[in-house]
Chains A and B, each alone.
Chain A
Amino acid sequence: MKSDDQLNALRTESQSRPLSRRDFMQVATVAAAAGPGLAATAFAGFSLTRSQRAEAAEVIVQGLGKLPKVKFGTKMDNMMVTRTCICQDWNADLFAPAVELGINFIHKAGYWGRRGPVPDAIKALPRESYYTDITVDNTPRNPDNFDAAYNQVTQSLEANGLKYYDIFRAHFGWRGLEAFNGGDNASYKAFLKLKKEGKVKYFGVSQHPYAKTVDASGGISYPEKADRYAEIIQAEIDSGLIDCMQVWYSYGYPKGAEEVFAKASAAGIGMTAMKIYAHGNDKMRADSARLQELKAGDQVGRALIRQVMTTKRSDGKPIFHTCVSNLHNQAIFEENIGGVSPKVAALDGFEEYLA
């Protein structure tokens, strides 16, 4: 086994020339010995070749284990998803390990085709074995543009060959009740036509919290404020049209937002949390007692995912079925995905480890 000094020397050396097979295997051994969910730390700082990165990913995947799936609300037949999903704009190295872990829901898949090809790891899968959404950029700037919504879906399918999307997701959501109009809006109409044509199945939204503001000169703007969620989310629940919903949520969020998300979840809407790290890392980092309870060591990303994914409705069930994270390297991948891994949770002694 290499000493820390020897590993540091190899780290430096790897910046100027690739590690030899022998040296890489020694680093991989150290990583494997670090234990489930902690392998990436050993690889940190090394400049690895593509094939070495793939091998490093295998060590990480082995530590995390297969991820369980849960029912994604009650409005989308029997859709079962892992408690975290793939995102189209992840670093390309991460798709294969994600598939290996069993992650079966892909957010923003509709951008493939235009923004790079469908990754080989996804292309190799039977289409029916995974779920996708397309974020339709019809909202909030063009809430009445039926053609733009329809064309984005049809043209993207021609470009990426995915055959269909499971979820048509109105990207950014509506800016208020008027734009949503009880569901009678261009996005929903485009969805209905596309559904008839077999190009999409379910209607969803990625809703941001807009606070309409009028300045002294009458200018209108829509700054985004988390405490302004209740009204639009309640209207979306009441419409009965929304099958799934992606919303901002993190540690220390306003109670009003949490309560309305719990209502949406209880109404059978499939719930995805986003902005978990961006909106919660300061608060979690400052709360050492809570960090300790979540048993994620100094991995704030992992603690936050555990926090969010175990936040419950009044009936004791988790509010959120899945979550999406912005992952751009293997270390962050392991830190975040470890937050929904029962294998890692068991090792950490985090009993409330999602099921």
Chain B
Amino acid sequence: MEPDELILSPPEWAFNCFPLPEPDVDVLTMEFVISTMQAQIDLVTEADTSRLGRALHVGHLLTVAQSDAGDWPAVFNARTGESIGSERSLAPLPMFERMNLMLNSSEFDHVLKRAAWGGIHPGS
């Protein structure tokens, strides 16, 4: 499979249009989702920014799912939106910072700040 040939979750799922490792698999790790989206962003060119759109969509849904402590479930059910287990993840943070830089935007500053990402608010 080439990096742009993604299998995406269906529109009716809680985390819709998220990358899936296999069709119909609904339990995802945050590491898989972010690694796949980062690879999508790698393929963005000036002429074709459509893959950044995919990553932004994932980013927007993850923004809402961020906990007050700034983290996300490490494993979750994309169909229902439920967290699985107690493990937490900060894997999305570098992607949010990257998208901010690419878009010359502060759109995700609040997400980074909530997680005390060093460039925004060290140690707070």
Please report A residues at the B interface, Cβ cutoff 8 Å: 40-41, 43-48, 53, 56, 89, 91-94, 111, 114-116, 137, 141-142, 145, 148, 171-172, 219-224, 278-279, 282, 326, 328-331, 333
Give me 10 other A-B pairs in contact (C-beta within 8 A), A115-B98, A328-B117 excluded: A48-B122, A92-B119, A94-B118, A142-B1, A145-B1, A221-B21, A224-B29, A328-B93, A329-B116, A330-B118
What separation, in Å, do the CA atoms of A220 and B25 have in the docked complex?
Answer: 9
Q: Would you give the shortest CB distance from B114 to chain A, in whole angstroms? A: 12
Q: Does A53 contact B74, Cβ atoms closer than 8 Å?
A: no
A sample of 29 inter-chain contacts (CB < 8 A) reads A41-B123, A43-B122, A44-B124, A45-B124, A46-B122, A46-B124, A47-B124, A53-B122, A91-B97, A91-B117, A91-B119, A115-B41, A115-B98, A116-B98, A116-B101, A141-B1, A141-B21, A219-B22, A219-B23, A221-B21, A221-B22, A221-B25, A282-B86, A326-B91, A328-B90, A328-B117, A328-B118, A329-B118, A329-B122
B51 within 8 A of A: no
- Chain A residues whose C-beta falls within 8 Å of the C-beta of B94 in the assembled complex: 89, 115
Please report B residues at the A interface, Cβ cutoff 8 Å: 1-3, 21-25, 27, 29, 35, 38-39, 41-42, 74, 86-91, 93-94, 97-98, 101, 115-119, 121-124
Asked whether A278 and B88 contact (CB < 8 A) given A43-B123, A148-B2, A328-B93, the answer is yes
Asked whether A329 and B123 contact (CB < 8 A) given A94-B118, A115-B98, the answer is yes
What separation, in Å, do the CA atoms of A48 and B124 have in the docked complex?
Answer: 10
What separation, in Å, do the CA atoms of A45 and B116 have in the docked complex?
Answer: 9
What separation, in Å, do the CA atoms of A328 and B21 have in the docked complex?
Answer: 27
Asked whether A93 and B24 contact (CB < 8 A) given A115-B98, A137-B35, A331-B123, the answer is no
- Chain A residues whose C-beta falls within 8 Å of the C-beta of B119 in the assembled complex: 91-93
What separation, in Å, do the CA atoms of A141 and B88 have in the docked complex?
Answer: 24
- Chain A residues whose C-beta falls within 8 Å of the C-beta of B41 in the assembled complex: 115
What separation, in Å, do the CA atoms of A142 and B22 have in the docked complex?
Answer: 12
Q: Would you give the shortest CB distance from A131 to chain B, in whole angstroms? A: 21
Give the contacting residue for A220; candidates B2, B22, B91, B116; CB below 8 A.
B22
What separation, in Å, do the CA atoms of A43 and B86 have in the docked complex?
Answer: 29
- Chain A residues whose C-beta falls within 8 Å of the C-beta of B1 in the assembled complex: 141-142, 145
Interface centre among A141, A142, A145, A279 (most CB of B within 10 A): A141
What separation, in Å, do the CA atoms of A235 and B91 have in the docked complex?
Answer: 30
- Chain B residues whose C-beta falls within 8 Å of the C-beta of A93 in the assembled complex: 118-119, 122
Interface centre among B24, B42, B90, B123 (most CB of A within 10 A): B123
What separation, in Å, do the CA atoms of A94 and B115 have in the docked complex?
Answer: 16
Q: Does B121 contact A222, Cβ atoms closer than 8 Å?
A: no
- Chain B residues whose C-beta falls within 8 Å of the C-beta of A46 in the assembled complex: 122-124
Q: Does A278 contact B118, Cβ atoms closer than 8 Å?
A: no
Q: Does B29 contact A45, Cβ atoms closer than 8 Å?
A: no
What separation, in Å, do the CA atoms of A92 and B97 have in the docked complex?
Answer: 10
In this complex, what residue of B is CB-closest to A221? B25
What separation, in Å, do the CA atoms of A169 and B51 have in the docked complex?
Answer: 26
In this complex, what residue of A is CB-closest to B44? A114
- Chain B residues whose C-beta falls within 8 Å of the C-beta of A41 in the assembled complex: 123
Q: Does A329 contact B117, Cβ atoms closer than 8 Å?
A: yes
Asked whether A328 and B124 contact (CB < 8 A) given A115-B42, A278-B87, the answer is no
Q: Does A331 contact B39, Cβ atoms closer than 8 Å?
A: no
In this complex, what residue of A is CB-closest to B121? A47
Q: Would you give the shortest CB distance from B43 to chain A, in whole angstroms? A: 9
In this complex, what residue of B is CB-closest to A328? B117
- Chain A residues whose C-beta falls within 8 Å of the C-beta of B38 in the assembled complex: 111, 115
In this complex, what residue of A is CB-closest to B2? A148
What separation, in Å, do the CA atoms of A262 and B117 have in the docked complex?
Answer: 35
Q: Does A278 contact B25, Cβ atoms closer than 8 Å?
A: no
What separation, in Å, do the CA atoms of A187 and B89 have in the docked complex?
Answer: 28
Q: Would you give the shortest CB distance from A242 to chain B, in whole angstroms? A: 21
What separation, in Å, do the CA atoms of A111 and B98 have in the docked complex?
Answer: 12
What separation, in Å, do the CA atoms of A224 and B2 have in the docked complex?
Answer: 23
What separation, in Å, do the CA atoms of A333 and B122 have in the docked complex?
Answer: 11
Q: Would you give the shortest CB distance from A326 to chain B, in whole angstroms? A: 6
Q: Does A137 contact B123, Cβ atoms closer than 8 Å?
A: no
What separation, in Å, do the CA atoms of A221 and B23 have in the docked complex?
Answer: 9
Q: Would you give the shortest CB distance from A332 to chain B, in whole angstroms? A: 8
- Chain B residues whose C-beta falls within 8 Å of the C-beta of A114 in the assembled complex: 42
Q: Does A278 contact B89, Cβ atoms closer than 8 Å?
A: yes
What separation, in Å, do the CA atoms of A40 and B93 have in the docked complex?
Answer: 21
